[in-house]
Amino acid sequence: MTTSSLSESQVRVNLLHRLADAEKLLTSQVSQLRTLRCDILAAVAKGVSAQAVSNGGIIPLAQVEKAIILAAINDCKGDKLMASARLGIGKTTIYRKIKHYAEDLLTQKVGDST
């Protein structure tokens, strides 16, 4: 059946079915995103709470951000593009942050070996 042979009511019904399918898909993706964010926050909370105890209850925001980004990348099995999308940040931002974390790690290792 072509579009021109469909009645207006049939077109409307088809459109409503497609909208319902799109809504189900979107609802599922939103649910997965919420679950991921909850999992990330739970993982971060565990690591952050241990650090907070030794730091008088205050953790620098940069450390919390780093933990969240690294947890998201881990949950996305290394897929940085997916992790950035799920976190709501740009892919350039996540790559820049990872580069910064690597530079910090190298600086710490050089400092530790001297």
| 81-96: pLDDT as tens digits | 999 999 999 999 999 9
With 0-12 / 13-18 / 19 or more C-beta atoms within 10 angstroms meaning exposed / middle / buried, residue 21 is exposed
Half-sphere exposure for 14 (CA within 13 Å, toward CB): 9
For residues 93 and 84, give the distance between their C-alpha atoms in angstroms, rounded to a whole number: 8
Domain with 49 in it: 3-113
Band the pLDDT of 97: cuts 50, 70, 90: very high
Map residue 97 onto helix, strand or coil: helix
- Minimal CA–CA distance to 63: which of 41, 74, 48, 53? 48
**Confidence (pLDDT) at 68:** 86
Q: Per residue in 7-56, pLDDT tens?
A: 888 888 888 888 888 888 777 777 776 676 666 666 666 666 566 556 66
CA angle 48–78–97, rounded 5-degree value: 60
Number of domains making up the chain: 1
**Confidence (pLDDT) at 12:** 84
**Confidence (pLDDT) at 3:** 53
Is 0.75 topped by the overall pTM?
no
**Confidence (pLDDT) at 111:** 67
